[in-house]
Amino acid sequence: MKGYRSIFWHRRDLRFEDNVGLSQASKIRQHLTGVYVLDPKLLDLELTTSKSKNWFLGKSLLELQNNWERIGSRLLILKGDPIKLIPRLSELINISSIFWNESIEPYEKYRDNKVKQKLIKNNQQIYTFIDQLMIDPGKIRTNNNEPYRVYGPFYKKWLDVIYKTKLSSNNLMQSFTISDRLVDLNDAELSSIKDSNLKYCVNNPGDDINNLLLENKFEGEKICPCRPGEHASKKQLSLFINNGPIISYEKGRDIPSKSATSSLSAALSLGTISCRAAWNGAQITKSLATNKYQLDSINTWIKELAWREFYQNALINFPELEKGPYRIKWFNFPWQNRLDWYESWINGLTGIPIVDAAMRQLKQSGWMHNRCRMIVASFLVKDLLIDWKWGENYFMKALVDGDLASNNGGWQWSASSGMDPKPMRIFNPFRQASKFDPNGIYIRKWLPELAHISTPDLLTGEIAPLERKYYPSPIINHKHQQAIFKELYSNLI
């Protein structure tokens, strides 16, 4: 006979508030224990993550663990392959049911299916929920029941479904709260774990998280704009929406020297805040807006939330995006892939000030402004002629908010290899700098060695050798590289 214990498996929902699956689980099961698995596949610093993201994860888990203890239960931290560990734990404490919020990435979906198969064999009940996205992806289809490939029509449909399903209601979040005190593992359950090879997760709670933080010492933790944990994420959202930068987002969002965006990307990716909380915050601010510019600004921010969902839907419907370009002719592009140029790009030493400032911001703080992500991505692909997959991989190894769907979407958009209908988008880094950092404030902040250079020279990158000292001269000529890129592209079949 099955026991009365249930578990809630946290994955990208490291919070208590407005957590759809956790709220449902706590409503029907009092004997509820939380679980998080530190999965080496998702913690791989060479392929899937960064020190900054692991720092964000570790700090957020420590807070989550406290939250579980506060309501009388606990969060178990397991380390290893979830396909083995979740069924093993379920067996040890003889659970009746397990709850989780659905994931969208190809590996995560594979993992969940494998876990499901094992649990079903053991007659354990599985309850899954949509939490990571505002709308069930199955509901966002064209009239021909096909997935959307273009953002504009996707956005219209997304809004339509949200309004029709009354998801826009401000009361929405209140229905997903944890109501009761929960009941912790009893002595018998604890000793079954203690007698097993999972004993460390009850004997030394928190050790694995602390080890994760120690192994991933992130130098930029003080300056990273994304703050870990549910509490900090809520505060960050509140500062952004309560008469904050959201009401002037329309213009502010493009100025990298300003803190004019929410910096909630890591929180939304690891789920220390819900997408509904972000949406609701925007709706409340909208109801208080006093002029059209404010309204436009708030709507523009909502459109960014929709970009996030667009890319997640894209990855669900076209999982092959993970492996390479959506437009197959890009498979034949003759990348030049010069390692020395790639290294210069990574280290912010290309001699193009706006590119280098952005790459240093990423290296030092774990985050980069969206305008600059577009500039450096275009530069890598269309000036340095380096495969965008290299850039995509480096971003995952450096970003605090590295997220397969958004990162892949952003890179395919910049490379013109994705679903975007505008195939030939090329950024001129000097024009971008003049438009979005006209006084060189951002460049000077991240390239202090150029602080003394006049603004016009900073923006054009034409700095006299004596003035530039150790800062390199440009490694390429933009015009020349553009010509080569266009030629190579036009020869693609």
Q: Does 49 bind ligand FAD (CB under 6 A)?
A: no
The token duo for 161 is 């479904």
Cβ 101 vs Cβ 128: under 8 Å = yes
Q: Which residue is nearest to ligand FAD (CB)?
A: 410
Inter-CA distances, 474 with 365, 388, 415, 428, 443, Å: 24, 21, 22, 14, 15
Q: Does 412 bind ligand FAD (CB under 6 A)?
A: no
CA-to-CA distance for 427 and 478, rounded, in angstroms? 10
Helices 353-365/339-347 angle, 10° precision: 70
- The verdict on whether 491 is a catalytic residue reads no
252, 235, 202, 210: which is closest to 68 by C-alpha? 202
Task: Name which position in 406, 416, 417, 432 contacts ligand FAD (CB under 6 A).
Answer: 406
CB of 58 to ligand FAD, least distance (A): 19
Determine the size of the site formed for ligand FAD (CB under 6 A): 28
Indicate which residue of 211, 304, 317, 322 is catalytic. 304
Task: Name which position in 407, 416, 432, 481 contacts ligand FAD (CB under 6 A).
Answer: 407
3-state helix, strand, coil in the chain (%, to 5): 55, 5, 40
Which residues, other chains included, contact 333 with Cβ-Cβ below 8 Å and sequence gap of 6+? 387, 488, 489, 492
Query: Interaction with ligand FAD in 252-271: which residues (CB under 6 A)?
Result: 253, 261-265, 268-269
Neighbours of 396 (CB within 10 A): 21
Q: Does 54 bind ligand FAD (CB under 6 A)?
A: no
Task: Name which position in 88, 308, 360, 478 contacts ligand FAD (CB under 6 A).
Answer: 308
Indicate which residue of 68, 279, 345, 411 is catalytic. 411
Cβ 308 vs Cβ 51: under 8 Å = no
Segment interacting with ligand FAD, rule: CB under 6 A, options 15-23, 74-82, 306-314, 357-365: 306-314
**154 or 311: CB nearest ligand FAD:** 311
Indicate which residue of 219, 317, 335, 428 is catalytic. 335
CA-to-CA distance for 41 and 31, rounded, in angstroms? 30
Q: Does 227 bind ligand FAD (CB under 6 A)?
A: no
Residue with structure tokens 């401000």? 170
CA-to-CA distance for 484 and 493, rounded, in angstroms? 16
Task: Name which position in 359, 399, 443, 450 contacts ligand FAD (CB under 6 A).
Answer: 399
CB of 305 to ligand FAD, least distance (A): 5
Catalytic residues: 304, 307, 335, 370, 388, 411
Residues that bind ligand FAD (CB under 6 A): 253, 261-265, 268-269, 304-305, 307-308, 311, 370, 373-374, 377, 395, 399, 401-403, 406-407, 409-411, 414
